[in-house]
Structure 1
């Protein structure tokens, strides 16, 4: 068994960039939103660097990039309208190009066989989680799933991690957070959990190793 799993009773996974490569469908929805607003599309490469802080922040970054906001900064009403468009388009094709990363299903099966609890904490809106998990063949592995709007706080705040650990009556030091971004590592550290980062995924163009996670893997298959 990998050292990262020693004395661990619960693994909390991030979703986008950790279990699934969802950037292609997120980028498609962003570009459809911009086109509907008579703005220029931005493409997949840029969206990959913007994913990870929730849908509202993704939409805000896209609008800022194309110069949709005036000198006074973001207009909340414009941002709300754009977010509604994005959510509508994303819901229509959230699993069109999204795929599980190699080794993900094998990892989830292995931890289930070991009797380790598994949960999902993501900054994706809750309304998308069940449908996406089902489309990816990931349903049934997690005792709890928490979306960005489940609590008042989201990652990098530690509250979602502590909430899930509390539901299972598991001490934070026996929890492993697995993610791909600064938000995941900061949430784990603030919660008193251990953290494992994957080298792929979305971390806004910064190598995840620079953040010094407890463990670093190129594939979750290494946990099988």
Structure 2
């Protein structure tokens, strides 16, 4: 039995929102390389890939503070020093993503969902300047109609603001939506938005088993959601009123839309 059959009684959600790092792609090697470049330029000892993997998940500014402090708290770091370090990190990470890889089963699953007419969005805490180019580099960009980065809105996950905004844009309810991620931030954001959450157990949840966060389902490969359906769409159906989205209408939400986003969220939350 597929994950969708277990969670939705044979129906597909109208909207699926995805996290990026640790969910669709393994970006730790490139992020770690950028952190090490930053630390080297600042005359600090290297952090090591394992530590960087533990520190990922709360956005670039927090990753930089944790690297400077050498711990998860990232405390005791001067703001000016953190700002300078962030500039170095961003420049280093902008240099390329040769070591980043797409996880097994991701492309096949996204292709299948796209063929079924499921709307898809990407919601990540990664700075927005990197997101769309990285998705295109990984040949994943064409699957997502809405793309929101970690600094697109004033809030980032675990705040549900981005999830609520995308649901508003898609014209769907929480019951018709799903979020797929790999970390505590993803589960908390999904729960706060009232949507089902599926978690991947291979991600970067600060070294903790994702099962501890009590998502609705834990899987080891996206294809578990559509097991037995890759060759046929007969077992799982989408509401006939939903049509495949037009890929030329992709919306990359930028900081320039903040005021519109905030107003839309205010109306959404008021009605809720």
Partner residue, 1:56: 61
Alignment of 1:143-222 (within 5 A): 143-222=145-224
Task: Measure the CA separation in 2 of the matches of 1:123 and 1:173.
Answer: 24
Task: Measure the CA separation in 1 of the matches of 2:152 and 2:47.
Answer: 30
Task: Measure the CA separation in 2 of the matches of 1:123 and 1:165.
Answer: 18
Match 1:91 to one of 91, 94, 97:
94
C-alpha distance after superposition, 1:195-217 (max 9, x if no partner): 00000010001100111110111
Partner residue, 2:243: none
Superposed displacement of residue 7, structure 1: 4.9
Partner residue, 1:75: 78
Partner residue, 1:120: 122
1:33 aligns with 2:56: no
Superposed displacement of residue 46, structure 1: 0.7
Runs of 4+ in structure 1 over 4 Å off: none
C-alpha distance after superposition, 1:35-80 (max 9, x if no partner): 00011111111101111100000000000018xx9xx922100000
Larger gyration radius, structure 1 or structure 2: 2
Task: Measure the CA separation in 2 of the matches of 1:77 and 1:164.
Answer: 34
What stretches of structure 2 of length at least 5 have no aligned partner?
227-272
> CA 1:130–1:7 in structure 2 vs 1: closer, same or farther (change >3 Å)?
closer
**Paired residues, what number?**
219
Partner residue, 2:265: none
Alignment of 1:126-145 (within 5 A): 126-145=128-147
Task: Measure the CA separation in 1 of the matches of 2:123 and 2:130.
Answer: 13
Q: TM-score, normalised by structure 1?
A: 0.94
Secondary structure in 2 aligned to 1:162? helix
Secondary structure in 1 aligned to 2:64? helix
Q: TM-score, normalised by structure 2?
A: 0.78
